[in-house]
Structure 1
């Protein structure tokens, strides 16, 4: 069984313009309107409700050094999301978290750490590995979530409730960055497996998924999917669209292969403000419907 959890948070993103608010918090309802919940309900999924976050604040003028944007609100939301994911897992259902920005990986990571023996497959057009050790601009967890998830960030976000690392680096597989990603060499040195988008295109989704699942370990893994892994021509409704990404069919195939051994998944960074007629929401619903319908089926009796 799959349980859909809406997590309309934008706390980990920088504002699109000074004083403005990112649109990713609207994604769960935009995808609901495009038919996501109806499609999954037809196959027996249940609606697990909403985990609301506090109000987004552009705090650049007031935030002290050594802190990320919306830090207190982000930590509190991560705790509450982790608790909801934990309840879903305890009910022997697979949580499908619809975000929201990819700082949601903190809450998923906390729940996974409490469960134990859980790997991570991180599907993203960027490595999301900016952190205080390699950048003076660390502040937006949405671009730093993978670093925080394996313990490479300030303890306030990387060690919430003493759970660091949320995922072991050796059991983390990343898929989907572009060839010009600035942190890719550091990530290669740390993670169990790192596969650029170009290799998915060259080798095929099935081969990459099999290798990534093996690297994440035999006991299941959390599946984090940032939709900017898609090529910019396919999915421009994200904050950082880039060329060189996957087609809709390639991402669907990748998710179809990865979903059965995932204990749960999170879908992030779709921005309805950049999709005025809803065409990209409908495309994303098609991808998720076909790619994640067997979420968790390979690890539950």
Structure 2
């Protein structure tokens, strides 16, 4: 059974303007209002509650060097969400986390009940591979989550409780980024496989998903979906919309192929503040309900 968890965090994002708060914390309830939770419930899923984050603080003026935004609250939330994931998996269900920002991948790395050695499919319009080794601007984990997931960040983020690296680079795949991504060459040299959005659109979702599974799938994998993988023509309610992304049909095709072998999934970075008429929420409701309906179906 799929178990939905709301994780309304915005702790890993930069403020949209000084003193302001990112809107991703509103995403789970906006998607609930759009009917996403009801669609999954009608198909047999259960609601596994909410894991609330601490308060977001724009700490740019007070944060010491070598520390990410909202570090203490972010780590605390990751630990508590990991504990909820463990409860779900121990009960025999498959977690679907509705976020929230991309830092949620850390909780998936900390969860101990998920299969050891699980792979990671990072489905994102950006590589999110900024880290202290390639940038002097590290601060927002939502733009650094893939690097943190494979151990390339400050230990306070990438080695919480001695659990890092959370995912083996040799069993990690990036899907859907752009050909001009700043860190693409480094990512290709670090993880198992990369397929860009252009390659997915040209070669087909089925082929891209099959290549991903060959690279990561032994005992299942965590599926991390950042919805900015969609082209902003279709969905612009994200903090960093970038032209050249996937179509909704291509994303549904990828999710259908990947979801049955996923041990869990997280959906991130939708910002309802940028969706005043609810059109983006409605699109996501349909894409997620269709693409993730078989989440975990083919696991042992």
**TM-score, normalising length: structure 2:** 0.99
Query: 1:68 touches 1:138 (CA, 8 Å); kept in 2?
Result: yes
Quick one: distance in 1 between partners of 2:22 and 2:113? 29
Runs of 4+ residues over 2 Å off in structure 1: 112-115
Counterpart check, 1:225 vs 2:232: no
**TM-score, normalising length: structure 1:** 0.98
Quick one: distance in 2 between partners of 1:114 and 1:197? 29
Quick one: distance in 2 between partners of 1:220 and 1:279? 33
SS at match of 1:129: coil
The 10-residue stretch of structure 1 (221-230 or 114-123) with the greater mean CA deviation from structure 2 = 114-123
Name the residue aligned to 1:186: 186
Once the two structures are superposed, what CA deviation does each residue of 1:213-244 show, in whole Å capped at 9, x if it has no partner? 11112210000000000001111000000111
Quick one: distance in 2 between partners of 1:167 and 1:86? 17
Measured on the aligned residues, the alpha-carbon RMSD in Å equals 0.9
Quick one: distance in 2 between partners of 1:193 and 1:178? 14
Once the two structures are superposed, what CA deviation does each residue of 1:72-118 show, in whole Å capped at 9, x if it has no partner? 00000000011101111111111000000000110011116864120
Name the residue aligned to 1:95: 95
Q: How many residues align?
A: 300
- Structure 2: where are the runs of 5+ without partners? none
Query: 2:117 touches 2:168 (CA, 8 Å); kept in 1?
Result: no
Quick one: distance in 1 between partners of 2:166 and 2:180? 27
Counterpart check, 1:116 vs 2:119: no
Quick one: distance in 1 between partners of 2:218 and 2:160? 26
Query: 2:130 touches 2:138 (CA, 8 Å); kept in 1?
Result: yes
Name the residue aligned to 1:106: 106
Name the residue aligned to 1:9: 9
Counterpart check, 1:23 vs 2:23: yes
Quick one: distance in 2 between partners of 1:229 and 1:127? 10
Once the two structures are superposed, what CA deviation does each residue of 1:184-214 show, in whole Å capped at 9, x if it has no partner? 0000001110111001001100000011011
Counterpart check, 1:158 vs 2:181: no
